[in-house]
Structure 1
């Protein structure tokens, strides 16, 4: 396994807040865009049940925001 690259760190920082659309549901974290070395167990996130249409991953803290 190789050491994480600068691109991997940038991708991690970019995913701290992610905008999703209804077509992206059902939502789970980590997404396919998450670097493998920084992933965690996959967890389903019920963003459509949230009053403010946001949900935060309990593992990594990434905030997901649903837009229509």
Structure 2
């Protein structure tokens, strides 16, 4: 078995999408549901002011989608 490549790590959360509701705001990543072993520094995401009501975490790439 070969070691993971840098491309593998960059792809980890490319397809991860989390749906949030207004009651979940303000939004930050990682969320409280994220396992400690895969967390990163907490970052606030201004999803409620984005035009398409989405925000992508700059650390892990998780896409958050706001539904009303």
Interval of TM-score (by shorter of Structure 1 and Structure 2): 0.7 to 0.9
Aligned Cα root-mean-square deviation (Å) = 5.4
Distance of aligned partners of 1:4 and 1:27 in 2 relative to their CA distance in 1, 3 Å threshold: farther
Query: Structure 2: 5+ residue runs without aligned partners?
Result: none
TM-score (norm 2): 0.78
Q: Which has the larger radius of gyration?
A: 2
Answer 1 or 2: which has greater helix percent: 1
How many angstroms apart in 1 are the aligned matches of 2:62 and 2:5?
20
Q: TM-score, normalised by structure 1?
A: 0.78
Tell me: CA distance 1:61–1:13, structure 2 relative to 1, closer, same or farther (3 Å): closer
Structure 1 gap segments, 5+ residues each? none
Corresponding pairs, count: 68
